[in-house]
Structure 1
């Protein structure tokens, strides 16, 4: 894990996710999360490193192409930040990132809304 580029800013997390997902690097994806992070994607909720690892190992075994998301600037408050990404299919991802003791950033909470809600 030490040879992987860390997220120096919260906005780096989406870029690193995209690169690692397309490289099939499940361990690299896990490294973007705090050890007790929570990941919610559809009906799946994964808490902690082992569950998040299982989620991404399974996802990468089924899918090999991850389109580049549109990312928006993070909203920051001290050592916390909200990060946002919109996928080409309209899915939205919202994450809470936290600055680590070494100054890098990791996600603490990640929620992928699989389908956008349409009103009307």
Structure 2
């Protein structure tokens, strides 16, 4: 049984992630991901599964990063799936995640795109 606070709203995951990263808690960050989750990181690669994601965060936390809370963009929800995102700080990219509602009503990340940049060749609408 997990001792970690659960995300009962999709937007809670980003807040909890920031708190856990700032505490250096890789296991706690991994608890925000489903067992079958996929994260598009390191750049150009993917990391699959909660255990691999925990190991990735351990490496990332070795440099003692500090994250700032970010105001989320509006969440899109369809049944038990939701899309969450945060805006870019410099206008050059964004972060997006797909989360899935669990049987207990909490939400976990299943797809995580920590950073993407819109190609310049694609017109913005």
Correspondence list, 1:23-102, <5 A: 23-41=23-41, 42-88=43-89, 90=91, 91-102=93-104
Q: Could you say if the C-alpha distance between residues 89 and 27 of structure 1 is closer, same or farther in structure 2, counting changes exceeding 3 Å?
A: farther
Distance in 2 separating the partners of 1:82 and 1:40: 15
Q: Which has the higher strand share?
A: 1
TM superposition shift of 1:87: 5.0
* Structure label with greater radius of gyration: 2
Structure 2 unaligned regions, length at least 5: none
Distance in 1 separating the partners of 2:14 and 2:120: 28
Do the aligned residues in 1 keep the contact of 2:24 with 2:64 (CA within 8 Å)? no
SS of equivalent residue, structure 1 residue 71? coil
Distance in 2 separating the partners of 1:61 and 1:86: 26
Structure 1 unaligned regions, length at least 5: none
Distance in 2 separating the partners of 1:85 and 1:46: 21
* RMSD of aligned alpha carbons: 1.8
Q: Could you say if the C-alpha distance between residues 44 and 118 of structure 1 is closer, same or farther in structure 2, counting changes exceeding 3 Å?
A: closer
Cα offsets for 1:40-88 (capped at 9, x unmatched) = 1222311002210111000001232112223112100000000001353
TM superposition shift of 1:33: 0.4
SS of equivalent residue, structure 1 residue 62? coil
Q: Aligned residue for 1:104?
A: 106
TM superposition shift of 1:113: 1.7
After TM superposition, the score normalised by the length of structure 2 is 0.85
Distance in 2 separating the partners of 1:67 and 1:9: 20
